[in-house]
């Protein structure tokens, strides 16, 4: 009898061991795609109203609507990568050609560069050294330039890989549109089992939060980037489109366009007339801070969750999980807030108070 019992225990242990190895192997294979799948889910939830509207306009042709949205998403994600690669290739070819001909020269420093407070003289001297003796300047500052180049290349490469991953998420998003309603119903049933009886409400709250955060983060960032591009183009700033795209990325990751606009303002005061630079500064400052008052309006519209809860979720999620946390954070924090409210409302003290009031 004891031997039979021991054999059952050993058999169960072996089964659990193989089950554990199977689950571990599955998690190892799925883990690299976790962020891609999460992004695909976020994009599907955020863009489903657009998909629903588009397929209704196309006579209910869901596949055609899906194809249009996927192609548009691929253009928006792969377009910047292709443009950057093409621009870098052209710049590298031009640089190599000038170096072979011995025509590689640094242009003169902008007028008024020396007048910049604190750093103007130092920057002007270094610039002049590169202009007069490029080889000697490269020998002196080569190590620092190499380190800065490596750092910038690493950042740009990271952004490029992120955009490629987002392109893959766009493809997965297209596969989620059609079964989306059935998946939501299944998720609501599962949530009702876990958080009965309000689990379905939490799923609806999560979807609404994702859509509002998308409008408040990506929508406001897009508006801000367009304003930056218009402003820079009006004042003849070169590479206005590239700088606007950088502002778009900085706004999405909650840094803001100040890292781009502040140096441009300094450049404006060193290269433009005083009146023109003043007008540029007056217009640039509101563009720089417009997200501060637009984002709360976009995020909180239609939500009963307090704005402070959403903002804490956005900032805390970004600090904990990066860009994807901008969307995950407010969803998790909003659901936690609602669960906390339910717990407070159904606490023994609250029930006792309610019974006393009834008597």
Closest CA to 247 of 215, 224, 216: 224
Residue 354: pLDDT over 50: no
Instruction: Please indicate, yes or no, if residue 137 is contained in any of the structural domains.
Output: no
Average pLDDT over residues 337-347: 72
State the residue range of the domain holding 223: 197-342
Instruction: Please indicate, yes or no, if residue 17 is contained in any of the structural domains.
Output: no
Residue 167: pLDDT over 70: yes
DSSP for residue 306: -
Secondary structure (3-state) at 111 = coil
Contact residues for 232 (Cβ-Cβ < 8 A; gap 6+): 240, 243, 244, 264
Residues 237, 110: Cα–Cα separation, whole Å? 13
Instruction: Please indicate, yes or no, if residue 317 is contained in any of the structural domains.
Output: yes
Q: Identify whether the C-beta of residue 51 lies closer than 8 Å to the C-beta of residue 63.
A: no
Instruction: Please indicate, yes or no, if residue 127 is contained in any of the structural domains.
Output: no
Residue 211: pLDDT over 50: yes
Instruction: Please indicate, yes or no, if residue 239 is contained in any of the structural domains.
Output: yes
Instruction: Please indicate, yes or no, if residue 219 is contained in any of the structural domains.
Output: yes
Query: What digits encode the pLDDT tens for the residues 65-100?
Result: 888 988 888 887 777 666 666 666 666 666 666 556
Residues 291, 221: Cα–Cα separation, whole Å? 7
**Residue entry with tokens 């820079």:** 232
The HSE-up count of residue 161 (CA atoms within 13 Å, CB side) is 7
pLDDT band, very low/low/confident/very high, at 187 (cuts 50, 70, 90): confident
pLDDT band, very low/low/confident/very high, at 358 (cuts 50, 70, 90): very low
Query: What digits encode the pLDDT tens for the residues 303-321?
Result: 677 777 777 887 788 787 7
Residue 346: pLDDT over 70: no
Number of compact structural domains in the chain: 1
Give pLDDT, residue 81: 64
Q: Identify whether the C-beta of residue 79 lies closer than 8 Å to the C-beta of residue 206.
A: no
Average pLDDT over residues 103-122: 61
Tokens encoding 13 = 């242990």
The Cα diameter of the chain in Å comes to 99
Q: Which helix (DSSP H) or strand (DSSP E) does residue 149 occupy?
A: helix 134-177
pLDDT band, very low/low/confident/very high, at 131 (cuts 50, 70, 90): low
Closest CA to 166 of 322, 27, 43: 43
Percent of the chain surpassing pLDDT 90? 0
Instruction: Please indicate, yes or no, if residue 216 is contained in any of the structural domains.
Output: yes
pTM > 0.85: no
Instruction: Please indicate, yes or no, if residue 44 is contained in any of the structural domains.
Output: no
Q: Check residue 152 and give left, alpha or beta (phi > 0: left; psi -120 to 50: alpha).
A: alpha
Residues 40, 174: Cα–Cα separation, whole Å? 8
């Amino acid at each position: 009898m004891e031997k039979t019992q021991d054999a059952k225990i050993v058999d169960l242990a072996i089964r659990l061991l193989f089950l554990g190895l199977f689950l571990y192997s599955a998690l190892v294979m799925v883990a690299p795609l976790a962020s891609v799948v999460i992004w695909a889910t976020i994009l599907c939830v955020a863009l489903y109203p657009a998909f629903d509207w588009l397929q209704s306009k196309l006579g209910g042709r869901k596949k055609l609507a899906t194809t249009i949205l996927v192609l548009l998403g691929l253009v928006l994600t792969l377009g910047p990568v292709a443009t950057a690669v093409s621009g870098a290739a052209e710049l590298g070819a031009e640089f190599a050609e000038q170096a072979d001909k011995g025509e590689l020269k640094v242009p003169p420093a902008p007028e008024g560069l020396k007048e910049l407070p604190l750093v103007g003289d130092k920057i002007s001297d270094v610039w002049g050294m590169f202009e007069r003796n490029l080889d000697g300047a490269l020998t002196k500052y080569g190590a620092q330039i190499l380190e800065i180049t490596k750092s910038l290349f690493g950042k740009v490469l990271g952004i490029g890989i992120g955009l490629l991953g987002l392109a893959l998420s766009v493809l997965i998003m297209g596969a989620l549109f059609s079964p989306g309603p059935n998946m939501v119903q299944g998720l609501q049933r599962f949530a009702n089992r876990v958080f009965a009886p309000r689990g379905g409400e939490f799923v609806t709250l999560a979807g609404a939060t994702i859509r509002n955060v998308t409008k408040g983060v990506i929508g406001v960032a897009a508006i801000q980037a367009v304003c930056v591009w218009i402003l820079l183009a009006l004042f003849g700033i070169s590479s206005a489109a590239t700088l606007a795209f950088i502002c778009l990325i900085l706004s999405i990751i909650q840094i803001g366009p100040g890292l781009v606009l502040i140096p441009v303002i300094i450049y404006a005061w060193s290269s433009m007339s005083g009146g023109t630079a003043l007008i540029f500064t007056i217009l640039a400052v509101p563009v720089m801070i417009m997200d501060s008052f637009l984002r709360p309006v976009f995020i909180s519209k239609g939500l009963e969750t307090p704005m402070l809860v959403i903002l804490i979720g956005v900032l805390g999620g970004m600090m904990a999980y990066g860009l994807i946390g901008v969307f995950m954070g407010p969803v998790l924090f909003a659901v936690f807030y609602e669960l906390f409210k339910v717990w407070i409302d159904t606490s023994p003290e609250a029930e006792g108070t309610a019974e006393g009031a009834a008597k």
